[in-house]
Amino acid sequence: MEISRREFEEELNWQLSKLEVGKEDNTSASLRHREQLIKRLRQYHLDAYTQGIQFVNELEKLYRRGVLSATSPRSQQWILDNGCGSGGVVSALADFGYRVCGVDIDADALALAQRRPAQSPHKRTFLRGDSLTLPFREASFDVILCKSVLEHVPDKMRYLQEVYRALRSGGVFFASFIPNAWWIIECHSQLPIYQCISGREQAIERHFGVQPWGLICPPNFFQLRHLLQAFEWNFRIIPQGGVKIGPQVFRKVVAKALQLNPLWQLLCPGWAVLARKCDDE
What is the pLDDT at residue 175? 93
What is the pLDDT at residue 21? 41
- In tens, the pLDDT along 38-54 reads 777 777 777 888 888 88
Backbone angles phi, psi at 265, to 5 degrees: -55, -35
- In tens, the pLDDT along 11-23 reads 777 677 666 544 5
Q: What is the DSSP letter of 185?
A: B
Q: Give the pTM.
A: 0.82
CB atoms within 10 A of CB 249: 8
CA nearest neighbour of 123 among 160, 106, 146, 98? 98
Distance (Å, whole) CA 129 – CA 145: 15
CATH of 5-277, one of 3.40.50.150, 3.40.50.300, 3.40.630.40, 3.30.1280.10: 3.40.50.150
Print pLDDT tens along the chain (281 aa): 456 777 777 777 767 766 654 455 555 555 666 677 677 777 777 788 888 888 888 888 887 877 776 555 666 789 999 999 889 899 989 988 889 999 999 888 898 888 887 777 778 999 999 999 999 999 999 999 998 899 888 899 999 999 999 999 989 999 988 989 888 877 766 666 656 555 666 665 555 555 555 667 889 999 999 999 999 999 999 888 765 655 666 666 666 667 677 788 888 888 999 999 988 75
For residue 174, the surrounding DSSP H or E stretch is strand 167-179
What is the pLDDT at residue 267? 85
